[in-house]
């Protein structure tokens, strides 16, 4: 997701402490809970929270690609973002094949597998 000040060590620490389980949890982090971590100063927390805020301003297609949904590469992410415009609309559509864009319903092979991956991803998170 290209978040400055969010290296693998930080992610591992947050996961180990139970503060995050999935990427959406990053955006619920509060300064108070981050400051309670060992070796975490005010400036580090401020930098991390600022980076998280900037990451919210990324284009939807980049965020969708960064989620790492199986079979959703840059091209498919771009097409999905153009069609749905918002993650909530994509999540709702992926649970109902009829509401997916025609290009996804009509193409055989990898696009069908992509639909299956989307359904799996969003049925788990609902």
Residue 41 pLDDT class (50, 70, 90 cuts): very high
Tell me the chain's radius of gyration from C-alpha atoms: 17
Question: pLDDT (tens digit, 9 = 90+) per residue, 52-68?
Answer: 998 888 888 888 888 77
Question: pLDDT (tens digit, 9 = 90+) per residue, 73-104?
Answer: 888 888 888 887 887 777 776 555 566 666 66
Please say if the pLDDT value at position 108 is more than 50: no
Helix (H) or strand (E) holding 94: helix 87-94
Residue with the larger pLDDT of the pair 116 and 5: 5
Task: Give the distance from CA 23 to its chain's centroid.
Answer: 5
∠ Cα 54 63 50 (to 5°): 15
CA-CA distance, 93 to 9, in Å (whole number)?
Answer: 35
Sign of CA dihedral 11, 16, 21, 24: negative
């Amino acid at each position: 997701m290209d978040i400055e000040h969010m290296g693998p060590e930080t992610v591992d620490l947050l996961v180990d402490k139970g503060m995050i389980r999935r990427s959406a949890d990053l955006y619920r982090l509060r300064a108070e809970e981050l400051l309670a971590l060992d070796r975490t100063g005010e400036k580090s927390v401020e930098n991390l929270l600022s980076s998280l805020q900037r990451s919210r301003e990324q284009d939807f297609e980049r965020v969708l690609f960064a989620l790492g949904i199986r079979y959703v590469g840059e091209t498919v992410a771009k097409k999905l973002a153009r069609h749905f415009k918002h993650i909530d609309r994509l999540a709702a559509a992926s649970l109902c094949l009829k509401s997916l864009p025609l290009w996804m319903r009509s193409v055989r092979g990898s696009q069908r597998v992509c639909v299956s991956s989307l359904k799996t991803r969003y049925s788990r998170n609902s």
